[in-house]
């Protein structure tokens, strides 16, 4: 708790500086699991921005203190980078998060950062910052970006008492790699907006380096560790508008270049978003998405990564927002595996108590047929939270 006070003090000091802006929230989460002991977590997320002329600095410091699970007793300096703008060029250097996808349920193109499974297995956007450099050139229709990720970090995993500890043996968080962990990963991204057939935004990304996926390897001490291998990857993300429909496509093809046991693979995801406008004073949007994996060699290892639970799955969701002073919002989603009958239901709601306080509710139910992950049993998770925003 002393850390919370120190962070709050730092926020107060920095808020008095003219060129610095501070924002974030602090709150408490009460989490009830149907298959594990309940938990209470104190959370503080803080963003510091400093801007002078064409240069800006950003730092994000997240703090978690869980009563019961050690993976949530941590401080993450998840982002720390400098941005310099010069004419049509942007240069970024530091630890950063980058998202390339546009679908709501799962993004095959969000491969820049590793997922931080220890924080929330079911939150696709909970990622770990990566030390990187980016150079972006902007023009009238889009941009060209050259990026380099310097380092592959170790991966923390769940507490053995956690309902999400999936492994039959001990976990060793030291990442094993096919080359040095300092061997860089490069990407080249071309983004453009087009109006030729449909109004659309497109990104094409070529990547060379470590795959975002990992698989588990048994070490000599009988513990499991994650293993990273190198790939060439091409990614495509497209969002197109036709009348009041938004069509989304994300695709990837991965050529595994230094691991004989892993098959090359392709990923295809399709999405449709439609806003129905005001229905009974609630702004209502519907999302339909489909995710598919394609393995090029059936004799090699498949399903090496937890993200591949999104294979032959359909995602249906709705977002309802009340147009009132409380800005009440509700999201209801269903992820259904067409092949294995696995289902994940999730309900998220939030409402303002006052301008600065927000209450949130999340109900999640997961039922599956994993043969390899017996410890992750069918369960329901209910999370009640209250946050103060500053």
Partner 1 sequence: MIKWFLIFTMMSIYSYAQSAEEIAKKAFLSISGYEGSDAVMTMVLKSAKGVQNKRRLHVLRKEGNSGDKSYIEFLYPKDIKGTKLLSYEVIGADDKQWLYLPELKRIKRISSRNKSGSFVASEFSYEDISSVNYKNYTYKSEVKETIKNGKKYFEITRIPVDKHSGYSKQTIWIDKQNYLIRFGEYYDKHEKLLKKVSFTEYKKVDDIWRVIVIDIFNVQNHKSSKLILEKEKIHQNIANNDVSKRALQ
Interaction site with partner 1 (CB under 8 A):
23, 25, 88, 90, 97-99, 101-102, 125, 138, 140, 142-143, 193, 199, 201, 239, 241, 243-246, 275, 277-278, 281, 283, 321-327, 352, 355-356, 358, 387, 389-390
Cα–Cα distance measured from residue 287 to residue 239, given in angstroms and rounded to the nearest whole number: 14
284 or 343: CB nearest partner 1: 284
CB 223, min distance to partner 1, A? 34
Q: Which of 331, 365, 368 has its CA nearest to residue 347?
A: 331
* Adjacency order of strands within the sheet including 215-218: 176-177, 224-228, 215-218
1 or 325: CB nearest partner 1: 325
297 or 324: CB nearest partner 1: 324
CB 381, min distance to partner 1, A? 21
CB 241, min distance to partner 1, A? 6
Q: Which of 257, 250, 253 has its CA nearest to residue 266?
A: 253
H or E stretch at 389:
strand 379-389
CB 259, min distance to partner 1, A? 30
256 or 317: CB nearest partner 1: 317
140 or 374: CB nearest partner 1: 140
CB 133, min distance to partner 1, A? 16
Q: What count of other Cβ atoms lies within 10 Å of the Cβ of residue 244?
A: 10
CB 197, min distance to partner 1, A? 15
Query: Residues 302, 336: contact at Cβ < 8 Å?
Result: no
**DSSP letter (8 states) at residue 174:** P
8 or 177: CB nearest partner 1: 8
Cα–Cα distance measured from residue 91 to residue 218, given in angstroms and rounded to the nearest whole number: 40
Q: Which of 311, 332, 312, 309 has its CA nearest to residue 320?
A: 332
2 or 281: CB nearest partner 1: 281
CB 278, min distance to partner 1, A? 6
Cα–Cα distance measured from residue 308 to residue 126, given in angstroms and rounded to the nearest whole number: 17
CB 114, min distance to partner 1, A? 15
Query: Residues 146, 193: contact at Cβ < 8 Å?
Result: no
* DSSP secondary structure letters along 286-353: EEEEEEEEEES-TTSB---SGGGG-SSEEEEEEEEEE-STT--EEEEEEEEETTT--EEEEEEEEEES
Cα–Cα distance measured from residue 137 to residue 251, given in angstroms and rounded to the nearest whole number: 24
CB 325, min distance to partner 1, A? 4
Cα–Cα distance measured from residue 131 to residue 288, given in angstroms and rounded to the nearest whole number: 34
Residues 6 or more apart from 187 whose CB is under 8 A from it?
112, 145, 146, 147, 148, 149, 205, 206, 207, 208, 209
239 or 307: CB nearest partner 1: 239
CB 380, min distance to partner 1, A? 26
Q: Which of 213, 242, 218, 246 has its CA nearest to residue 230?
A: 213
Query: Residues 270, 243: contact at Cβ < 8 Å?
Result: no
Query: Residues 43, 66: contact at Cβ < 8 Å?
Result: no
Alpha helices in 209-315 (DSSP H): none
243 or 260: CB nearest partner 1: 243
88 or 297: CB nearest partner 1: 88
């Amino acid at each position: 708790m002393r850390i919370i006070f120190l962070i709050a003090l730092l926020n107060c000091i920095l808020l008095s500086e003219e060129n610095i802006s501070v924002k974030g929230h602090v709150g408490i989460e009460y989490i009830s699991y149907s298959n594990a002991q309940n938990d209470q977590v104190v959370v503080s997320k803080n963003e510091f921005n400093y801007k002078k002329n064409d240069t800006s600095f950003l730092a994000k410091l997240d703090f978690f203190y869980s009563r019961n699970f050690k993976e949530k007793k941590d401080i993450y300096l998840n982002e720390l980078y400098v941005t310099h703008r010069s004419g049509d060029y942007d240069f970024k250097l530091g630890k950063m998060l980058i998202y390339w996808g546009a679908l709501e349920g799962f993004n095959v193109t969000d491969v820049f950062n590793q997922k931080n499974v220890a924080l929330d297995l079911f939150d696709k956007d909970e990622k770990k910052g990566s030390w990187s450099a980016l150079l972006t050139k902007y023009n009238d229709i889009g941009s060209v970006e050259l990026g380099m990720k310097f380092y592959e970090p170790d991966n923390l995993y769940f507490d053995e008492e956690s309902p999400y500890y999936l492994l039959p043996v001990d976990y060793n968080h030291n990442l094993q790699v096919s080359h040095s962990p300092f061997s860089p990963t490069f990407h080249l991204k071309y983004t453009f907006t087009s109006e030729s057939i449909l109004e659309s935004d497109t990104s094409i990304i070529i990547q060379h380096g470590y795959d975002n996926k990992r698989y588990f390897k048994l070490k000599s001490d009988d513990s499991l560790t994650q293993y990273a291998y190198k790939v060439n990857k091409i990614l495509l993300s497209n969002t197109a508008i036709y009348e009041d429909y938004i069509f989304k496509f994300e695709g990837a093809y991965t050529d595994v270049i230094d691991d004989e046991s892993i098959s090359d693979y392709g990923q295809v995801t399709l999405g449709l978003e439609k806003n129905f406008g005001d229905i009974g004073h609630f702004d209502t949007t519907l999302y339909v998405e489909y995710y598919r994996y394609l393995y090029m060699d059936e004799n090699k290892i498949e399903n090496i990564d937890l993200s591949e639970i999104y294979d032959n799955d359909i995602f249906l969701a709705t977002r309802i927002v009340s147009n009132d002073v409380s800005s009440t919002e509700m999201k209801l989603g269903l992820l259904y595996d067409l092949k294995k009958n696995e289902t994940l239901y999730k309900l998220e709601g939030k409402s303002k108590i006052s301008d600065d306080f927000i209450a949130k509710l999340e109900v999640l139910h997961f039922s599956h047929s994993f043969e390899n992950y017996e410890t992750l049993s069918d369960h329901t998770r209910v999370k009640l939270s209250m946050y103060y925003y500053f």
